[in-house]
Structure 1
Amino acid sequence: MAVDPNTIDPKKTLADEEVAARLAAELPKWKLVDGWIRRTYRTSSWKGTLMVINTVGHLAEAAWHHPDLTASYAWVEVRLMSHDAKGITERDLQLAKKIEDVVGWQPGIEPESALEGTPRSDLRFAYIKYD
């Protein structure tokens, strides 16, 4: 479902049904749970966890829309909900998309990429577990 940027009300909350449909179509690894959209990223180590946290932090600060994060040695959970609107808004979905695009980026997988990506055969360099 395409969204016309000229008609977006950034504080308009979306119905749970609409959020669920948008997640299924646009962000299938994200789930609506207890009023938040959530995604857990699995990492290979603390290094990978910190890289995900820093990436999400940069994107959130640039967007001026801040998720809640929970982290452990080998995972990061990202939760988005617009506190000022008391629900899920277009801001949450757009930030989730940007996070998914950047954290999930896999150089070396793309055709004709000059970027090789981190070595997959050497676990010393592994940092995120792509799902």
Structure 2
Amino acid sequence: MATKERTYSDAEVEERLKKELPHWYLEDGWIRRKYKTNSWKGTLMVINTIGHLSEAAWHHPDITASYAWVEVRLMNHAAKGITDKDFELAKKIEDVVHWQPGAEGGSLEGTPEDDMRFSYIKYDKPKT
């Protein structure tokens, strides 16, 4: 028989989000993040990215989408609360969706943000 996973209290979730995932928030028992995109194409790319990561992790979020945004919600249904699985998948989603190769200084340029034909996600502005 499997042991029940540890669930975090709301205060513990808020603290971890503040430290580890500042663009995520707790609401109605879910940790959530809304990604803004520039078009339906970008929305579909974000959904497919989240889908791939979730299936590979075998931990599945709820997703809501519209033309220019995607909201992902994580909560461990089996444990009936927020667990380490939710935080780990949220971090992986965050890392992949907000990856900006051009900002890393390597040979990969990244998509041009100033040309709407190619730009697909609205990256978070760095906090000052």
TM-score (norm 2): 0.93
Query: Map of 1:38-57 to 2, 5 A cutoff?
Result: 38-57=32-51
Q: Pick from 5, 9, 17: which aligns with 1:15?
A: 9
Shift of 1:15: 1.0
Contact in 2 for aligned 1:23/1:31 (Cα 8 Å): yes
- The answer for the alignment partner of 1:109 in structure 2 is 103
Shift of 1:11: 1.7
Q: Distance in 2 between matches of 1:106 and 1:81?
A: 27
Structure 1, gaps ≥5 residues long? 1-8
Match of 1:77, SS state, is strand
Deviations 1:1-22 (A, max 9, x none): xxxxxxxx87211111111000
Structure 2, gaps ≥5 residues long? none
Shift of 1:35: 0.3
Match of 1:105, SS state, is coil
Match of 1:58, SS state, is helix
How many residues are treated as equivalent by the alignment? 122
Contact in 2 for aligned 1:10/1:90 (Cα 8 Å): no
Match of 2:122, SS state, is coil
Shift of 1:43: 0.3
Q: Distance in 2 between matches of 1:94 and 1:17?
A: 18
Q: Distance in 2 between matches of 1:85 and 1:10?
A: 6
Shift of 1:107: 1.1
Query: Map of 1:68-83 to 2, 5 A cutoff?
Result: 68-83=62-77
Superposed CA RMSD in Å reads 1.1
Question: Is residue 35 of structure 1 aligned with residue 29 of structure 2?
Answer: yes
Aligned letter for 1:91? K
Deviations 1:35-87 (A, max 9, x none): 00000000000000000000000000000000000000000000000000000
